[in-house]
Amino acid sequence: MEEVHEEFAVISNDRKPETLNQLLRLRNLFSKALVKMPRDYLVKMIFDRRHLTYTMFREDGSIVGGLCFRPFANRGFVEVVFLAISSTDQVKGKGTRLMNHFKEYCKRDLGIKYLLTYADNFATGYFRKQGFTEEITLQTSVWKGYIKDYDGGTMMGCRLYDHIDYRDIASSMRELIREVYETVTNPITKTEIHPGLTSFPVDISSIPGLESLRGASDDSWNAKAWTIESQIGSIIAAAMKEPSSWAFREPVDEKQVPGYHSVILNPIDLSSMKAKNDRREYKTREDFRADVKLMIDNCVLFNGPRHEITRRGQETVSLMFSRIDKIVEYATPGEW
Ligand code: ACO
């Protein structure tokens, strides 16, 4: 497979000569790709200081494509004004890559989880493949009058999810599929047939009937807590089975390790974490992460950073951290 070395940067009109040069190069790319868009309008949008352009560069500094956008941070959405990939690079997956990186940037750097656009009718197929739909779940009063609309365009929106890493979609999807598979193969309650899905859901709590298979009640908070508990439970169970975790499975016995409790004031181990999880004391993945971190910090403090037990502990903990990052904290309608 071809290796990809593109880089991304956000460009906005700071009036520096180098930036103005980049914006002119973007204008040329946009005006070649968006032939129907008046040139004056294009220039106005790109150089307007309220707009920014998320830009994809090749290693040699040339531009592959760009996405001109305007963040409405206090309204909780970003307007995608237009985007284009240079004509020689289209339909090679670059537009998808640009959009995925942009989504992660919106989520992580701007803290915004909703994208809106008036998609050119020729490009709605592309937007649909990027997760945009014509059903806008953001309240109309939030965006109406703020988005530029134009004839020949279709209003589309895309909600971004915390549990998906858009720059690594493949592993996020694998994790979702594993979750669904584990649930449907270990049902707790009776089987019931629901209508089929029309598209792959990014939020598995939206799958009809799945929550009832998991034994959750109608209370959405309980459903969420149950779900987090089940995921944490499976991480602890997997860690217990790791050969490297032998020293961390049970509380340290003072008789076998004299002086341990005078050095380590907050001991923690995998069995104690399991007990806490069974009591539903972990409300978020960060609560759980804090205990896993405490376990390895205690180990370093007592044994030193180079000790064999510390090395083995780090193996267990890094496996746990990578799975904690993927814990799905289900969104309930009240949260967005
Ligand atoms: N219509 C329907 N489907 C499309 C289109 C399109 N215009 N363009 C791409 N796709 C599909 C591809 O076939 C591909 O499908 P697949 O995953 O089943 O193979 C998928 O979308 C992703 O394609 P990419 O290769 O990632 O897309 P590309 O790199 O070509 O970028 C883009 C898409 C930005 C639309 C590019 O083709 C382009 O610059 N076109 C001209 C400018 C344009 O139309 N911009 C959008 C205007 S609307 C707006 O900006 C709000």
- pLDDT for the residue 4: 64
Query: Alpha-carbon torsion 8, 9, 10, 16, what sign?
Result: negative
Query: Alpha-carbon torsion 290, 295, 299, 301, what sign?
Result: positive
Indicate if ligand 1 lies below 6 Å from the C-beta of 127. no
The answer to whether 211 is a known catalytic residue is no
Report the alpha-carbon distance of residue 119 to residue 137 in Å, rounded.
17
Query: Residue 56 C-alpha to ligand 1 middle, in angstroms?
Result: 15
User: Distance of alpha carbon 271 from its chain centroid, rounded?
Assistant: 30
Report the alpha-carbon distance of residue 204 to residue 206 in Å, rounded.
5
Report the alpha-carbon distance of residue 79 to residue 112 in Å, rounded.
11
**Of 3, 7, 59, 79, catalytic:** 79
Indicate if ligand 1 lies below 6 Å from the C-beta of 152. no
Indicate if ligand 1 lies below 6 Å from the C-beta of 155. no
**In this structure, what token pair is assigned to residue 55?**
């830009």
Nearest CA to ligand 1 atom 39: 84
Question: In a structure prediction context, what are the per-residue pLDDT tens digits for the chain, which is 336 residues long?
Answer: 455 689 999 999 999 999 999 999 999 999 999 998 899 999 999 999 999 999 999 999 999 999 999 999 999 999 999 999 999 999 999 999 999 999 999 999 999 999 999 999 899 999 999 999 999 989 999 998 898 877 778 999 999 988 788 998 887 777 778 777 777 776 655 566 777 776 666 666 677 777 666 654 444 434 444 468 888 998 999 999 889 999 999 999 999 999 999 999 999 999 999 999 999 899 888 999 999 999 999 999 999 999 999 999 999 999 999 888 877 765 433 333
User: End-to-end distance of the chain based on CA atoms, in angstroms?
Assistant: 39
Indicate if ligand 1 lies below 6 Å from the C-beta of 77. no
**In this structure, what token pair is assigned to residue 154?**
């279709």
Query: Residue 174 C-alpha to ligand 1 middle, in angstroms?
Result: 25
Report the alpha-carbon distance of residue 334 to residue 314 in Å, rounded.
38
Among the listed residues 165, 159, 88, the one whose alpha carbon sits nearest the alpha carbon of residue 130? 159
